[in-house]
Amino acid sequence: MSDIVWSGTQEGQQREALDHAALITLWACTFVALALILTRIIWRFRRREDFPAEDIWMVSSILPLLLRLAFIHISLYLLTTYFDRKKYLEQFMTGDEIWDRALGSRMILPGRLCYAAFLWTMKVVILLWFEKVTGNVWPYGLIIKGSYVFVGVTFVGVVLATLLECRPINLYWQVFPDPGNCVMARGQLLTMGAMNIATDICLMIIPLPLVLGAKLPTLRKLQLLFLFSVSLFIICITVVRMPVIIGNRAMQRTRSLWASIEVMVACLVANAPVLNSFFHSAKQHHTRQQYDQQRGSSDAYVSTVSQRRRGAQMPVTGQDSFGSLTRNDGFDSLSTKTGAALVQILDAEQAVWRDSARNDRALAGEAAAVGKGRDKSIELKVV
């Protein structure tokens, strides 16, 4: 097939070019989303950690992600039944083009359903992570359970809006006669946009009381608020894309382009907390390796002092005195039973960082002293 779809056989007839920008965006955004998911899973295996429920949901999202790629690629390449009928007349269309447009339109519905399935899977992943972070303590446990119901109901609403706007359903892929305005699917667009915004706002509100109620430095609170509010980017994309699509008469190529961007951003938002923890852990490991190499022959001595000092100051929520916005040895392993305990954990984190800095300076001084003592010993032996 050529890259140009002709609208007829008459000489000089206008032609409709494929939207290469939408195709490139589709493939690029899908590749980025897939790379984020695989990075999360591979890193989890490398760290020899358990495979939690949110990772199982994340792996399952690969199926609708790749299916959407196939469906939308076909629909963009073959075009759809929604086009300018004054510009592209029936009498000038070949049977092959009519067949291609009907087939391309058949791919729209499963493509939209896979799009919705992927976005709502990302929401479930975030809720599962919140469930782990809060330990289902009151009132977060009740709020999260209610959010599961809300997410499920909104997904059903999106599916119904996708399937029921054109009745009978074969109007979606009817080229001639004109199936009417239902193929524009404005109702589905507005319904899914509203449901998407409502669920994202719900996901942003859940962790805010926990962070705002903790006695942490202002900068630390801002970092946590930013991390928990990244869903705002999805809301912004939804708010921007709806008037743009409607202003462009809901053309499928425009919808596909913006949907691809939203898929990528939603995947980034759902993976941000866990990937932030992984990257921070890797940075800690690299820093410790460098520090151990610099200590040289005094490793055993310094290690003993470090274990003795840090063992007395280490909070119950972590395995070391290093922290991150979402480290696995803190937030990811919470099993507290009261909201007060959660606040105490966040409060303890500030003290841990302060004590860690003080201990590191002391350890460095002790290591230097050991080195100087050994140098003097060597000099005496030489003399």
Q: Are 268 and 61 in contact (CB under 8 A)?
A: no
pLDDT mean over 363-376:
49
Indicate the angle between helix axes 62-78 and 53-60, nearest 10 degrees.
20
Return the higher-pLDDT residue of 274 and 296.
274
Instruction: Read off the pLDDT of residues 136-187 as tens digits, 9 standing for 90 and up.
Output: 788 888 999 999 999 999 999 999 999 999 999 999 999 988 898 899 899 9
What is the distance between the alpha carbons of residues 239 and 303, in angstroms, rounded to a whole number? 54
Domains and CATH numbers, the chain: 4-279 (1.20.1070), 281-382 (no CATH)
- Confidence (pLDDT) at 267: 96
What is the distance between the alpha carbons of residues 276 and 269, in angstroms, rounded to a whole number? 11
Q: Within its chain, how far is the Cα of 349 from the centroid? A: 26
CA distances from 264 to 26, 115, 322 (A): 10, 11, 31
Q: 300: pLDDT confidence band, cut at 50, 70 and 90? A: low
pLDDT mean over 229-257:
86
Give me the phi and psi of 16, to 5 degrees please.
-110, 115
Strands (E), the chain: 4-6, 15-17
The two structure tokens encoding residue 17: 């070019």
What is the distance between the alpha carbons of residues 223 and 231, in angstroms, rounded to a whole number? 14
Q: What is the pTM of this model?
A: 0.74
Q: Are 159 and 113 in contact (CB under 8 A)?
A: yes
User: For residue 313, is pLDDT > 90?
Assistant: no
Alpha helices in the chain (DSSP H): 20-46, 53-60, 62-78, 95-106, 108-134, 140-164, 186-205, 208-212, 218-228, 231-247, 252-295, 299-313, 339-382
Q: How many CB atoms neighbour CB 144 within 10 A?
A: 17
User: For residue 341, is pLDDT > 60?
Assistant: no
DSSP 177: S
- Confidence (pLDDT) at 149: 97
Q: Are 163 and 169 in contact (CB under 8 A)?
A: yes
pLDDT mean over 85-106:
86
What is the distance between the alpha carbons of residues 131 and 137, in angstroms, rounded to a whole number? 9
User: For residue 318, is pLDDT > 70?
Assistant: no
